[in-house]
Amino acid sequence: MEAQKPYLSVVIPVFNEEENLVELHARLATTLDKAGYAWEVIYTDDGSRDRSWDILERLHQQDPDRVRLVRFNRNYGQHMAVFAGFERVRGEVVATLDADLQNPPEELPNLVAKLEEGYDVVGGWRQSRRDSWLRKLPSYVVNRITSRVVGVDLKDYGCMLRAYRRDVVDAMNACQETSSFIPALANTFARDVVEIPVGHAHRQGGTSKYGLMRLLRLNFDLMTGFSVLPIQMVSLLGSLVAFIGLAFGLFLFIRRLVVGPEVEGLFTLFAILFVFVGLQILGVGLIGEYVGRIYREVRQRPRYIVRETRG
Ligand code: UDP
Ligand code: MG
C-alpha cells in the first residue's frame, strides 16, 4: 500500500535529548492519532553526542512511513535543524516544537485548529513560562525589539511551539542565509499571524542547550538579520555630534562678536573637533548602510510573495 500523503508534518530538532525522546514520541503519536490527522514527524538530529540517534532509529523502524529522520554531521544549531526538517515536509500544515517536552505535544491540535480558521502562522505564547527569570527577562526585551523590527507584534517570539501553512514554509525554504530566526522570518512572509496561549513545562531531562553566549548570539542574529536599524542609529548619532559641533562653533562666533575673543581659543578647537568626530561617525554609519544593503542582496531572500493573480 502506498503511504498516504500526510496532512500535518511535525518538525522537531534534537540535540542530546536521549532522556526525552521516547516519551516525547509516545505522547506525540497518541495525540495526533486521537486528533485523527494523517501525520508525519521529522526529527533532525543536530549532531547529538549521546544515544539520541539510536533511539530515533528505533522509532523510525517501528513506524517507517511516519517517522522520518535527518542527521547532521555536527551541531549546526536549533534553527538550522528545523530548516532541514522544513525542506523535507510533505504535509499541508507544518508544526514545530522542542524535543525536551517543555512544549506539550498535546497542544498541537489546538494550533492546527486555529490555523484552519484561516491564519498563516499560529504561534504559541508561553503564558506561565517555566524558566528562570534570568532567562525570561532578556526574552521580554528581545520580544519587544523583535516586534518593532519585524513589524508584527507578538508576545513570544522565542516559543518554538508553532504551526505554519505550507506556503509560508516554502517561502522560508527559499531563503538561503545561514543565520536566521524562524519565528521572525515566518512573520515576514505571513499575512495573518495569531498567538494562542500554550502550556509550558520544566525541561524533562537533560539540560538547556542555550548558555548566555549562545542567547546573545541568537539575539544579535535577530537584530542584524532583520534590519539595518542598528547601523542607522550610528549614522544618526554621527549627525547629531556634528550638528552639536556646528552649533557650538556658531555660538562661539557670535560670542566673539559680542563679548570679544576668548582666551587661547580652546573652545573653538573643541567645536571644530566635534564637527569632525561627528562626520567620522556619520561616515562609518554610511559605510555600514552600504554593507547592510549588500548583505540584504547576498541573502537572496524572495523579495515578495504573490498571494493570487487574476488573468
Ligand atoms: N537544539 C538543537 N540544536 C542546538 C540546541 C538546541 O537542535 O544546538 C534543540 C533542543 O534539542 C531542543 C530545542 O532545540 O529540542 C530547544 O533547546 P533547549 O530546550 O535547550 O532551549 P531552551 O528551552 O533552554 O530555550
Ligand atoms: Mg527547552
pLDDT in tens, 192-217: 999 999 999 888 888 888 777 777 77
* pLDDT digit string, tens, across residues 129-182: 877 787 788 788 888 888 888 888 999 988 999 999 999 999 999 887 776 789
Residue 311 lies in a domain: no
Ligand 1 within 6 A of CB of 19: no
Highest mean pLDDT among 30-34, 253-257, 306-310: 30-34
Q: Which residue range(s) make up the domain with 212?
A: 8-225
* Whether residue 94 sits in one domain with residue 32: yes
How many folded domains does the chain comprise? 2
The three three-digit cell numbers of residue 250, written as one number: 556658531
The C-alpha atoms of residue 53 and residue 286 are separated, in whole angstroms, by 48
* pLDDT digit string, tens, across residues 109-134: 999 999 999 999 999 999 888 777 87
Query: What was the pLDDT predicted at 310?
Result: 67
Instruction: Tell me the residue ranges of DSSP E strands in the chain.
Output: 8-14, 39-45, 67-71, 93-96, 121-126, 162-165, 193-198
* Whether residue 219 sits in one domain with residue 200: yes
Q: What distances in angstroms separate CA 127 from CA 65, 102, 199, 278, one per listed residue?
A: 35, 13, 7, 45
Ligand 1 within 6 A of CB of 75: yes
Question: What is the model's pTM?
Answer: 0.81
Ligand 1 within 6 A of CB of 195: no
Among all bound ligands, the one having the nearest atom to the CA of 13 is 1
227-260 burial, b at 16+ Cβ within 10 Å, e below that, comes to bbeebeebbeebeebbeebeebbeebeeeeeeee
Q: In the listed set 225, 246, 265, which residue is the last one of a domain according to the structure? A: 225
**Candidate from 15, 133, 200 with most ligand 1 atoms within 8 A of CB, to mutate:** 15
CATH number reported for the structural domain that contains residue 188 in this entry: 3.90.550.10
Q: How far is the CA of 57 from the centre of ligand 2 (A)?
A: 22
* pLDDT digit string, tens, across residues 208-243: 887 777 777 777 777 777 777 778 888 889 999 999
